[in-house]
Amino acid sequence: MNVFPDILPMSSWLPVVSPPFVIAGPCSAESEEQVLSTARELAKIPQVRVFRAGLWKPRTRPSSFEGVGKRGLQWLAKVKAETGLLTTVEVANPRHVEEALSHGIDILWIGARTVVNPFSIQEISEVLQGVDIAVMVKNPLNPDIKIWIGALERLNQAGIRKLIAVHRGFSFFAHTPYRNSPMWEIPIELKRLYPELPVLVDPSHICGETSLLFPVAQKALDLEMDGLMIEAHIRPEEALTDKEQQITPENLKMLISSLVIREEYGTIEFENKLEELRSEIDKLDEELIDILGRRMKIVEDIGKYKKENNITILQLKRWSQIIRDRVDTGVRIGLSREFLLKLLETLHEESIQRQTEVMNRNH
C-alpha cells in the first residue's frame, strides 16, 4: 500500500539549482547580528538554498539556553528579505507552528525529541490541516523506523504534500565515533519503502563534532540521499548550543566543494545492497566480540573455582572433547575443519593464559 499517495517531488517545489541541495545555519538563533552575519555568508554558497535556525531549543537540562523564542522570527524574516534564502525553524507544538506561519517561515521541521510522541505530532498535524507548507521530519532518537513513518503519515494525512524526512542518526548504547549512530540501513530502508519521499541527511547531529562531517556528508551523497542539513555559525566557538559540531560558513563552503557527486546511475542499488550487507556484518561482529568477552569471563570464573579446589588448569580430556564437538558442529554448517581448529586453538591459548593469570594472583 502506498501510504504517501500524493507527496510532491521536492524538485516541483524546491528545484535544486546547484547540487547538492544544502540547508545550513546555526543550531540556535542567538542574536540578530549572529543570524544575519551567518546568513549573509551562507547566501554566497550557491548550494545553500535554505537557512535554518532553532528558536525554541529542546534542552536536556532546564538551566541551559532554551532559545530566543518568537523574537527570532523577525530576524529570519530579515534573512529572507535580504538574502533570498528560504527559512526553516523547528516547531514542537501548535503555538510554535502558528507563530512560524504568521511570520512567513517557508519550511517547518519537527525535531527528534518531538517525533517520538504521537500526541505532539497529532496536535501539530491538526493546526497544519489545510495549510500549504513544507514540513521536514527528523528521525526519532531511537532506531525505530515505524515511529518515523508514523509521524510522516500523520502529517501527510493532514494534507501536507511537501514532506521531507531528515536522517540525523540514532542514540545507540555501544560506543561509536558518532554522537548519534548513522545506522544507514534505516534511511536506506525508508527510501526503499517510499522512493517518492525525499530524505536529507544531517551530518552535524550524526557526528557531534566537525572532523567527521565530510565523510558522513559524502556517504549521504553516495547513498543518493536528497541533500544535507549542516549546522553553520559565524563564530562556532561562541555558539550557545552544539558548539563542537558547528562550522563557519567558510569551512562549509570548502566542505561542499570537496564533495563528489556521482554521475553514473545504476550503481545505487548495488551500493544500497552492499551497505545493507555490511551493516549486517557490523552487527554480527559486535555480537561475536561480546560473546568472546562473555566466554573469557566464564573461563576466569572456572580458573578461580579450580584454584579454590586445587585442580590443574589443563584438563586434556575436556579439551579433546571440546575439539571433537565444536569441529563436528562447525563442519555440519559448512565451516572448514582447518579454520575451526585454528580458531579453537587460539581460543584455548587465550583461555589457558587467563586461567594462569588467575592462578598466579596471590589472593
| Cell digits of residue 134 | 513544507
Element containing residue 23 per DSSP (H, E): strand 22-25
Closest CB to ligand PEP among residues 49, 205: 205
Cα 318 to its chain centre, rounded Å, is: 47
How many residues belong to the site for ligand PEP (CB under 6 A)?
A: 9
Which residue number, 188 or 220, has a Cβ lying nearer to Mn ion?
220
Query: At closest approach, how far in Å is the CB of 168 from ligand PEP?
Result: 4
Q: Does 162 bind ligand PEP (CB under 6 A)?
A: no
Q: What are the angstrom distances between the C-alpha of 202 and each of 137, 180, 335? A: 12, 11, 42
**Terminal Cα-to-Cα distance of the chain (whole angstroms):** 66
In the list 27, 76, 85, 121, the residue contacting ligand PEP (rule: CB under 6 A) is: 27
> Number of residues in contact with Mn ion, rule: CB under 5 A?
2
Which one of Mn ion, ligand PEP, none interacts with residue 348, CB within 5 to 8 A by kind? Answer: none
Partner touching 49 among ligand PEP, Mn ion, none, CB below 5 to 8 Å by kind: none
Q: Candidates 62-70, 110-118, 143-151, 256-264 — which segment interacts with ligand PEP by CB under 6 A?
A: 110-118
The residues in 53-92 that bind ligand PEP, with binding defined as CB under 6 A, are 54, 58
For ligand PEP, the binding residue among 154, 162, 191, 205 (CB under 6 A) is 205
From the number of C-beta atoms within 10 Å of its C-beta (0-12, 13-18, 19+), residue 127 rates as middle
Residue labelled with grid coordinates 499517495: 5
CB atoms within 10 A of CB 137: 28
Q: How far apart are CA 342 and CA 348, in angstroms?
A: 10
- In whole angstroms, how large is the CA radius of gyration of the chain? 26
Site for ligand PEP in 125-154 (CB under 6 A): 138
| 24 is an interface residue for ligand PEP by CB under 6 A | no
Residue with smaller CB distance to ligand PEP, 54 or 303: 54
Taking CB positions, which residue lies at the least distance from Mn ion? 27
Is the CB of 186 or the CB of 299 nearer to ligand PEP?
186
Return the residue of 111, 140, 227, 236 that touches ligand PEP, per CB under 6 A. Answer: 111
94 vs 208, beta carbon nearer ligand PEP: 208
Residue 242 binding Mn ion, by CB under 5 A: yes
Name the minimum Å distance from CB 202 to ligand PEP: 6
Instruction: Pick what 239 binds: ligand PEP, Mn ion, none; C-beta below 5 to 8 Å, kind-dependent.
Output: none
Nearer residue to Mn ion within complex by CB, 202 or 226: 202
Q: Which is nearer to Mn ion, 226 or 242 (CB)?
A: 242
168 contributes a contact to ligand PEP by CB under 6 A: yes
DSSP 261: P
Could you say which of Mn ion, ligand PEP, none residue 112 binds, taking C-beta under 5 to 8 angstroms by partner kind? Answer: ligand PEP
Q: How far is CA 167 from CA 80, 116, 135, 220, 334, in A?
A: 25, 14, 14, 10, 39
Axis-axis angle for helices 94-102, 118-128 (nearest 10): 30
Where helices occur in 158-202 by DSSP H, the ranges are 185-193
What is residue 320's three-state secondary structure?
Answer: helix
Q: Which helix (H) or strand (E) holds 67?
A: none
300-319 residues in contact with Mn ion (CB under 5 A) are none
Q: Among residues 117, 123, 50, which one has the least CA distance to residue 89?
A: 50
Among residues 150, 124, 123, 146, the alpha carbon closest in space to that of 135 is found at 124
Which triple of cell numbers denotes residue 77? Answer: 524574516
The answer to whether residue 27 forms part of the interface with Mn ion (CB under 5 A) is: yes
Tell me which DSSP letter residue 9 carries: P
Q: Is 22 in the site for Mn ion (CB under 5 A)?
A: no
Report if residue 167 touches ligand PEP, rule: CB under 6 A. Answer: no
* Contacts to Mn ion by CB under 5 A: 27, 242
Binding site for ligand PEP (CB under 6 A): 27, 54, 58, 111-113, 138, 168, 205
